[in-house]
């Protein structure tokens, strides 16, 4: 992808100065779904799929950007009001990051940018957060500004919430900024404290793209946030993170059926996530898999964010001998599922998905990715970038 962005930068903008390259990973959330915006706990891992940004300095205040995968471009001026682009939705991530960083008092310079990535879009693997973190590094490091990963993650969330219009939590940006190789990251989404949890070397993260696409902005994701806020208000707390299962059980009969199900998922998912992290620390992968399976059941029955095809795919993955556990991952309503399995079980798991899912969900084709946990956003040191 470095060569792809370099070629695009040269052919589109003909910069006079050599570019620098920045990248940021997508992520998979092993457990802890829809808990981040409830101030809860999540256990994601950054994965070996990335967005790469090539950035060459300009002598003015113009940002010109070419999206290789979209074959589309955008231009705006850092000294003028930065407003959303109606004709280029992808460009709002670029504009939004620039606007937020400027509002935070950062000094930015004009840049020629080329962007490419291999994070599947619309699949729940956080291609948007990957883009935001790579852009953040490009904007700041190109002007020799220091990087604070947590602050940059918060800036990315701000841009997505208030400029792009997607009410995401902090998890996606934080894991893209802070990921550690061969580790998952237990994140407290209230304090932003995080603990690296090692993933055993003989254990594979298997992500399966169901082929079912959903648009996060247009889905029921935002409705789930409103329902969780209403449930927290009922309990008189800031967020559902502050309600334990005993308190919920004592008062659940007073909630409407929908809010009861939503709250039960979030409260139980927080408990499962902490227990799963402990199990992984102790190398108890059977227990970890149990919590993954229970998480999917809760998403299906209580949070109601799965689809028939997703449920079918998870059942297929869970049925393969040796697989520790499997669940849908991401915002929901389509996208990807994730399994944890011994490395020698991956071929059998792949075969099961390729044959059984294709037979039962004939309108969709699943794609299997064997992933590993990767490091977070950073500059890529490239030796030969002669213009």
The residues annotated as belonging to the active site are: 172
DSSP β-bridge partners for residue 73: 66
Quickly count: other Cβ atoms within 10 Å of residue 316's Cβ.
Answer: 22
Within 8 A by CB and 6+ apart from 227, the residues are 258, 259, 262
Of 97, 54, 31, the residue nearest 298 (C-alpha): 31
Contacts of 281 (CB under 8 A, 6+ apart): 197, 198
Q: Do 42 and 168 contact (CB within 8 A), yes or no?
A: no
**Bridge partners of 342?**
203
Residue 60: φ, ψ to 5°: -125, -165
Q: Which two tokens stand for residue 59?
A: 């002598």
> What is the C-alpha to C-alpha distance for residues 260 and 254, in angstroms, rounded to an integer?
8
Helix (H, G, I), strand (E, B) or coil at 187: strand
- Reduce the DSSP state of residue 133 to 3 states and report it: helix
Pairing type for strands 111-117 and 62-67 reads: parallel
Q: Quote the CA–CA distance of 141 and 162 in Å, as a whole number.
A: 24
HSE-CB of 190 using CA atoms within 13 angstroms: 10
Beta bridge partners of 55: 20, 113
Closest CA to 199 of 374, 376, 350: 374
DSSP, res 331: S
Q: Which residue has the tokens 């490009």?
A: 138
């Amino acid at each position: 992808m470095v060569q792809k962005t370099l070629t695009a930068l040269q052919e589109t903008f003909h910069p006079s100065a050599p570019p620098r390259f920045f990248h940021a990973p997508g992520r998979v959330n092993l457990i802890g779904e829809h808990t981040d915006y409830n101030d809860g706990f999540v256990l994601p891992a950054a994965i070996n799929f990335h967005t790469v940004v090539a950035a060459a300095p300009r002598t003015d205040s113009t940002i010109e950007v070419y999206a290789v995968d979209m074959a589309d471009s955008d231009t705006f001026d850092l000294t003028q009001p930065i407003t959303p682009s109606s004709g280029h939705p992808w460009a709002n991530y670029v504009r939004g990051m620039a606007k937020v960083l400027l509002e935070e008092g950062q000094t930015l310079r004009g840049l020629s940018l080329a962007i490419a990535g291999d994070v599947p879009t619309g699949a729940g693997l956080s291609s948007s957060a990957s883009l935001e973190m790579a852009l953040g590094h490009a904007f700041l490091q190109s002007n020799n500004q220091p990087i604070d990963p947590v602050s940059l993650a918060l800036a990315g969330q701000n841009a997505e919430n208030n400029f792009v219009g997607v009410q995401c939590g902090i998890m996606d940006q934080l894991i893209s900024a802070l990921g550690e190789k061969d580790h998952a990251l237990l994140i407290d989404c209230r304090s932003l404290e995080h603990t690296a949890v090692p993933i055993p070397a003989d254990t594979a993260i298997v992500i399966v793209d169901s082929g079912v696409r959903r648009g996060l902005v247009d889905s029921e994701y935002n409705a789930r946030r409103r329902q969780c806020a209403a449930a927290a208000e009922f309990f008189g707390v800031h967020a559902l993170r502050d309600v334990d299962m005993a308190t919920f059980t004592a008062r659940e009969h007073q909630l409407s059926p929908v809010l009861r199900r939503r709250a039960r998922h979030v409260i139980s998912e927080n408990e499962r996530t902490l227990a799963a992290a402990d199990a992984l620390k102790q190398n108890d992968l059977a227990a970890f898999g149990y919590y993954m399976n229970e998480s999917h059941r809760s998403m299906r029955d209580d949070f109601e964010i799965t689809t028939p095809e997703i449920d079918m795919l998870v059942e297929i993955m869970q049925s393969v001998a040796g697989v520790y556990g499997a669940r849908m991952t991401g915002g929901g309503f389509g996208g990807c599922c994730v399994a944890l399995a011994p490395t020698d079980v991956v071929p059998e798991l792949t075969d099961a998905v390729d044959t059984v899912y294709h037979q039962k969900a004939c309108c969709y084709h699943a794609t299997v990715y064997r992933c590993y946990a990767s490091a977070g956003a950073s500059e890529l040191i490239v030796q030969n970038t002669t213009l």
